Amino acid sequence: VVEIKSLFRESEKYADQEIVVEGWVRTNRGSNKFGFIELNDGTFFKSVQVVYEAEFLDNFEEISKAPVAAALCVTGTFVLTPDAKQPFEIKAKNIVIEAGSEADYPLQKKRHSMEFLREIAHLRPRSNTFSAVFRVRSIVAYAIHKFFQENNFVYAHTPIITASDCEGAGEMFQITTLDLDNPPRTEDGEIDYSQDFFGKKASLTVSGQLEAEIFALAFKNVYTFGPTFRAENSNTARHASEFWMIEPEMAFADLTDDMDVAEAMIKYIINYVLENAPEEMEFFNKFMDKGLIERLQNIVNSDFERVTYTEAVEILQKSGEDFQYPVEWGIDLQTEHERYLTEKVYKKPIFVIDYPKEIKAFYMRLNDDGKTVAACDLLVPGVGEIIGGSQREERYDVLKARIEETGMTEEDYWWYMDLRKYGGVKHSGYGLGFERIIMYITGMSNIRDVLPFPRTPKTAEF
Ligand code: 4AD
Ligand code: MG
Q: Is the CB of 388 under 6 A from ligand 1?
A: yes
Contact yes or no for 168/406 (Cβ under 8 A):
yes
Q: Is the CB of 239 under 6 A from ligand 1?
A: yes
Q: Are 278 and 293 in contact (CB under 8 A)?
A: no
Q: Give the per-residue pLDDT at 170.
A: 77
In this structure, which ligand is nearest to the CA of 430?
1
- Cα of 170 vs centre of ligand 2, distance in Å, is 14
Ligand 1 geometric centre to CA of 244 (Å)? 9
Angle subtended by helix axes 278-287 and 128-150, to nearest 10: 130
Q: Given the CA of residue 212, which atom of ligand 1 is nearest to it?
A: 12
Q: Are 231 and 268 in contact (CB under 8 A)?
A: no
361: DSSP letter: -
**Ligand 1 atom 2: residue of nearest CA:** 388
Residue 395 beta carbon below 6 angstroms from any ligand 1 atom: no
220 burial via Cβ count (<10 Å: 0-12, 13-18, 19+): middle
- Site to probe by mutation for ligand 1, drawn from 221, 241, 436 as the one with most ligand atoms within 8 Å of Cβ, is 436
Q: Is 208 in the pocket of ligand 1 (CB under 6 A)?
A: no
Q: Model pTM?
A: 0.96
Kind and range of the H or E element at 269? helix 255-276
CA-closest candidate to residue 426, choices 252, 295, 197, 244: 252
The pLDDT value recorded for residue 460 is 67
Cβ(417)–Cβ(396) below 8 Å: yes
Q: Is 240 in the pocket of ligand 1 (CB under 6 A)?
A: yes
Evaluate: CB of 211 within 6 angstroms of ligand 1.
no
The bound ligand whose nearest atom lies closest to the alpha carbon of 209 is: 1
Rounded distance from Cα 376 to ligand 2 centre (Å): 9
- Collect residues with CB below 5 Å from ion ligand 2: 388
Q: Is the CB of 257 under 6 A from ligand 1?
A: no
Pocket test for ligand 1, best of 171, 210, 245 (most atoms within 8 A of CB): 245
Give me the tens of pLDDT residue by residue for the chain, a chain 462 residues long. 999 999 999 999 999 999 999 999 999 998 999 999 999 999 999 999 999 999 999 999 999 999 999 999 999 999 999 999 999 999 999 999 999 999 999 998 788 999 999 999 999 999 999 999 999 999 999 999 999 999 999 999 999 999 888 887 778 999 999 999 999 999 999 999 999 999 999 999 999 999 999 999 999 999 999 999 999 888 899 999 999 999 999 999 999 999 999 999 999 999 999 999 999 999 999 999 999 999 999 999 999 999 999 999 999 999 999 999 999 999 999 999 999 999 999 999 999 999 999 999 999 999 999 999 999 999 999 999 999 999 999 999 999 999 999 988 888 899 999 999 999 999 999 999 999 999 999 999 999 999 999 988 777 677
